[in-house]
A and B are shown apart, each in its own frame.
Chain A
Amino acid sequence: MRLPEGHGPLRWWAEAVRGVYRSAVLVGLTWLLPSVCLAVGFGGSRAVGSWSEGLNAPLAVRALVGLGQVLMVLLWLVAAVCIVHPLTSRLLARAARRCARSWLGETFEVTYRAVPRVSRMATGYWWDGHEYHGSEREARRRAKTHARFHDPQLHWDGLWGLAAGAAVLPVAGLPLLGLAGGTYLMLAPELLGYGFEYGYGIALIVAGLAAAPFAWRILRPVGRRFLGPVPHSWLGRRVRELEAVQADLTHTQAAELERIERDLHDGTQARLLALGMSVGAAEQLVDTDPTAAKALLAEARGASVTALAELRSLVRGINPPVLAERGLVDAVRALALDAPVETTVHSTVVSRIERPMESAVYFAVAELMANVAKHAGASRVTIGFAYAHQLLSVTVTDDGVGGAAASAGSGLRGIERRMAAFRGTLHINSPTGGPTHITVAVPCALS
């Protein structure tokens, strides 16, 4: 809405009209919860009051009855709010945010919970991030409902609804009340019966118009307090983090299982089958054509070697043998020996750390080393292990080009998130031009 320039009466009128409009909008956005509360409260007390009409009993009994009635009404109030709020809060809060943005330039960055992907587990059940379901449709439905109604942001929006009902509605309602009351007095002069009606009516209308340019601005302080993202406690943040990590892990795991199944099915199983067939054929031929049988057997042996090689590389991807046999530090040493960049490993860690941690840290370090080989253009890499105060830290240092960052979607961000599952951290120090130091630290116990 463009307003005329300057401070003339025209401008003032425009301000007043705009104020009336905005107040009306605000009233429209905030009346629902308070009026539901009022209606239920009022109707409820009427209904409850009728139960004890004409009750003739000692004071103590009546006091008890009164208390019961008050509790009953409160119960209904809560029930009404619980029904109305989930269905309307999000819509109303979003509309209020839109108003705040276009009228006041206040933007509130709010994220509602996204619907998690559902994934099929190896057991054939569908996992929606919280529980298992028999069918994909059901899992999707439940994931949607859960995301929608168990969203902390939704409840925070509900709180905005209550706060706005208590603070924004009365203030924004004043100009409208003035206009409506004044108009009513002018149209119904017999109400006061003094002959001053017009005077009162006009006074009220003028007061309403005078308040109009300012009343709607109540949106700013209240909105700042309640329209933003839900304030998270540390615990809440941690839960969010863990939920994200859990979802990540669920999907990584599902993808891994699929990969392993595919590799076994297309590679090793097929080869073993071919092997059996060759041996069978050789069995047939052994009496009639020993030469051909020998050739077939040689072929079978070749096939078994290939199958073994395939299985070997598959097993390495699941759990590197050195890691299983000797633990983290030696597994990284073995990795360093195979690395294309000259890599030195130092360790002051005396014994093995907890097994699940080993695997997590190993794959993180492996990824860091792969990154160095891919992006850093380094000629030397140093990996240092240290353990102190229940904290294992691994630092990968390279003399490459630097400029590594955990931007969204990068491998480093992935490592960061996986480490977060174990309360671990990833610290990157990589100025342009190098050298780069990346430290992975996880709290853990030595085994």
Chain B
Amino acid sequence: MRVVVAEDLFLLREGMVRIVEAHGHTVVASVDTGPATLDALLVQRPDVAIVDVRLPPTFSDEGLQAALAARREVPGLPVLILSQHVEQLYARDLLADGHGGIGYQLKDRVLDTAQFMDALGRVADGGTALDPTVVAKLLGRPGRADPLAALTERERSVLALMAEGLSNTAIAARLFLSEGAISKYTTAIFAKLGLAADDDTNRRVRAVLAYLGADAPGGW
């Protein structure tokens, strides 16, 4: 794969470049500012980009904004966003266009190289790779009015794993169920959320989006 790495801390940037190259991919650009990130994304059109949320010169959410701007230009451009903190708010911004090819993970996940590369692969294939903490936060809120109330407990846990970006096979392994059972659950979920049957990946993303939008505040 052709990969762009955007990270302002030299050590982390080099570390990521090393990991990516060790797995046989090519790093076509490694950049350390917001504007440079946007340029690299639009010029290189990588198969996947690894972007830090907070970048110079302003140290606001420049990396995130660059990724969003690039995806407005090139819908579905795969981006894996990394940050020291994961925020539902950002996850929502990233998923809002419904195109998939989005990952949003804690930087710590890089430590588990296998899992990190797996997530990177999923994003490159147009899927999602949301950090379990974002998902856990959503699950850990009892007693909120929830459009997802129609889902059963089991369907909710399947959806949660879907949000993390796992495939049906992986979800089946995680829940000790057969893959057939999982695909029945996913079909039920899509039906309950009123998601029309189009490309499955896209539908998965939209299901996750519905999940994240469970309490969308006004103006979304």
Contacts and interface: CB of A to CB of B under 8 A. Distances in A.
Nearest to B143: A340
Given A324-B59, A325-B53, A334-B89, A345 B218 contact: yes
Contacts of B112: 301
B137 A338 contact: yes
A324 B64 CA distance: 14
Contacts of B217: 333, 336-337, 343-345
Given A336-B217, A346-B219, A325 B89 contact: no
A281 B82 CA distance: 31
A81 interface: no
A330 to B, nearest CB: 6
A340 B53 contact: no
A167 interface: no
A379 B137 CA distance: 19
B111 A326 contact: no
Contacts of B53: 325
Interface string B203-220: 000000000000101110
B184 interface: no
A330 B87 CA distance: 11
Nearest to B142: A340
Contacts of B59: 324-325
Contacts of A312: 84-85
Contacts of B83: 321
Interface string B184-205: 0000000000000000000000
A304 interface: yes
Given A325-B61, A326-B60, A345-B217, A304 B88 contact: no
B85 A337 contact: no
A154 B60 CA distance: 52
A340 B144 contact: yes
A352 to B, nearest CB: 9
A315 B83 CA distance: 13
Chain A binding surface SS class: helix
Contacts of A304: 108, 111
B145 interface: yes
Interface string B84-119: 110111101000000000000011100110000000
A330 B93 CA distance: 11
Chain B binding surface SS class: loop
B54 interface: yes
A110 interface: no
Given A322-B87, A345-B217, A305 B141 contact: no
Nearest to A336: B217
B218 A344 contact: yes
A364 to B, nearest CB: 20
Contact of B111 (A301, A324, A379): A301
Interface string B31-75: 000000000000000000000011000011100100000000000
Interface in A292-346: 301, 304-305, 308-309, 312, 315-316, 321-322, 324-326, 330, 333-334, 336-338, 340-346
B145 A379 contact: yes
Contact of B85 (A301, A305, A321, A333): A321
Nearest to A383: B217
Contacts of B141: 340
The 7 closest A-B pairs by CB, nearest first: A325-B61, A334-B89, A337-B88, A321-B85, A325-B60, A344-B217, A345-B217
Interface of B: 53-54, 59-61, 64, 83-85, 87-90, 92, 106-108, 111-112, 137, 141-145, 215, 217-219
11 contacts: A304-B111, A308-B84, A308-B106, A308-B108, A321-B54, A321-B85, A324-B54, A330-B89, A336-B217, A337-B88, A337-B215
